[in-house]
Amino acid sequence: MNIQPYMMVFTNKLLPFFFAIVGFGLLITVHEFGHFIFCKIFRIDTPTFSIGMGPAIYKKKIGNTNFTLAAIPLGGYVEIAGQAEVGQGKQKLAKDMSNRSFAVKPYWQKAFVILGGVIFNFLFAYLVFSILFMVGIPKQKGSLIVNSIVENSAAAKYGLQKNDKIISINNKAISSEPDKMIVEMQTILLKELSDNPDKEVNLLITRNGQEKELKIKLGSKKEGGKKIGSLGAMLEPQLTPIKGEYQRYSFFKAIGRGIGATNNLIVQMLYGLKILFQQRSLKGAGGPIMIISKTFESAQKGFSTLFIFLAIISINLAIINLLPIGALDGGQFLFVTIEAIIRRQIPEVIKLAINLTSWVLLISLILYLSFRDIVRIFNGMK
């Protein structure tokens, strides 16, 4: 019996999928550990620390905390004494007012507890990039992969195809630096495409391993009352590791590069969030299924690529959690800030109404993005 095909499936599919799930769970654990550790520092009781949602598949009580691993690896929570939150079970200590309750702690301690997850998500990214620059970050080639083509667009007319990789636009190469790639891509797309309606652009692409040059006369469309250039293709930045080539730095240089890379990504993601709000569109957003899918793709390329992707997702989680929405850390931070200013508690019924509403909206958004992710994945298989 030839077991080689089965071993290929295991190493190329099952093992990367396992590491993708573990990696996604690691980010949740890092975030929730941030809340947990600040609770311990400030002597606040934590009855439950759960990784995942839904039915528990493993439980162990250590000290006063029940550590739980749940079946669905798409979330997690730390139950905090003196703080009632939606989706955390019975919460027997939600009304606790003892000296080990969140409710009686000073504002600055509450702020650290609530923002602990965000802080640890950022620290995870700083640590990952610093370590990778130290042990050797893979050299990579940057490109823009064509995810889809709009019918009757300039891209369709001049022969651009789905899965083509764009290496350069008007002789401006796509950056191979993971921390610079997104912002450079945005700059190139803006200056070379959006600002040039009806102009000809030169694209250097690779198709089936062969380089090819395309000259495309851009179309145009109106956006915000302004005429802009239109290529008619959905593009996504992609880094392809160069096999066996690594770039290593000394200890202090690696830390400097790690901090710089993380800071650049934070700025880029804030810029991307600003664009989403300005355009009032979820066109470039992905849900949990797409995140796991991309994590799986990264795991197939090796541990370095996987951890780069996890660091990027960790920064995304931190920034999204800072939004002032009741279901997120930013919303909870807003509540305690208002309470510190007005020197009294916001009525529980108001907080509960805001939290429930925001949870319904958030879950609806996740379901919508998940549906879009599934459609996008299946369309990509055609």
Distance separating alpha carbons of residues 318 and 148, to the nearest angstrom: 30
Phi/psi of residue 158, each to 5°?
A: -100, 10
**DSSP secondary-structure letter at 153?**
S
Residue 102: DSSP 8-state: G
Q: Exposed, middle or buried, 172 (CB in 10 Å: 0-12/13-18/19+)?
A: middle
pTM, two decimals, is 0.73
Closest to 339 (Cα-Cα) out of 38, 102, 3: 102
Closest CA to 36 of 73, 64, 6, 69: 64
87: left (phi over 0), alpha (psi -120 to 50) or beta: left
Mention every residue, 6+ apart, whose C-beta is less than 8 A from residue 23.
Answer: 295, 299, 306, 307, 309, 310
Q: How many CB atoms lie within 10 A of CB 28?
A: 20
Report which residue type is found at 50. Answer: S
Predicted confidence at residue 177, as pLDDT, reads 63
Report CA dihedral (149, 155, 160, 166) to the nearest 10 degrees.
Answer: -90
Instruction: Produce one character per residue of 145-168: b if its CB has 16 or more CB atoms within 10 Å, e if not.
Output: bbeebeeebbbeebebeeebbbbb
Q: DSSP letters along 264-324, please?
A: HHHHHHHHHHHHHHHHT--TT---HHHHHHHHHHHHHT-HHHHHHHHHHHHHHHHHHHTS-
pLDDT at site 170: 79
Q: Which of 333, 125, 156 is nearest to 232 (CA)?
A: 156
> What's residue 119's pLDDT?
96
Mean pLDDT by 10 residues, the chain (382 residues): 48 60 82 94 92 84 88 80 69 79 92 95 94 81 76 82 82 65 57 69 84 82 68 73 75 89 82 68 61 64 76 88 86 91 86 81 74 63 46
Distances in Å between the alpha carbon of 136 and those of 128, 218, 249?
Answer: 12, 41, 7
Domains of the chain (ranges, CATH numbers): 18-136+248-382 (no CATH), 138-247 (2.30.42.10)
